[in-house]
Amino acid sequence: MTTLAEETTRVVLDGEVVVLGGDELEQLLQTLAGLEPRAAESVAEQIAALRLAGGTIDLTPTEAELAALRLALEVIAGSKETGPGLVRLAAICGVDGTSAAIGAV
């Protein structure tokens, strides 16, 4: 039986593929759920729905959803041990000046 820590999910954002461990994806979803902006709830719902469908999660966030995703990644980076998948996702999103901001819908 596969544990949550052993599960992986491929996330595509702006053409970049990131592999998130099950724990990393749960951490991201929980952090998004704790944020106020409606956009955080929207991107969390999008991730959860695509996760249930299986396969790769191809995110096409609006500007507001991308801002919520960046905020969640900043919260994670500032408060918990961040796994390599989340570090890479943060870089793609331009968190902490690690990468140029990506385009959004």
The two structure tokens encoding residue 45: 């719902």
Span 52-74, mean pLDDT? 91
The two structure tokens encoding residue 57: 């999660």
Span 80-96, mean pLDDT? 87
E strand or H helix at 66, and its extent? Answer: helix 63-79
In a domain, 26, yes or no: yes
- Distance from C-alpha of 104 to C-alpha of 19, rounded to nearest angstrom: 20
Rg (CA), the chain: 13
Contact (Cβ atoms closer than 8 angstroms) between residue 30 and residue 19? no
- The yes-or-no verdict on residue 83 having pLDDT over 80 is yes
In a domain, 28, yes or no: yes
In a domain, 17, yes or no: yes
**Domain extent at residue 85:** 8-97
Q: How many domains does the chain have?
A: 1
In a domain, 12, yes or no: yes
Contact (Cβ atoms closer than 8 angstroms) between residue 25 and residue 18? no
Record the pTM: 0.82
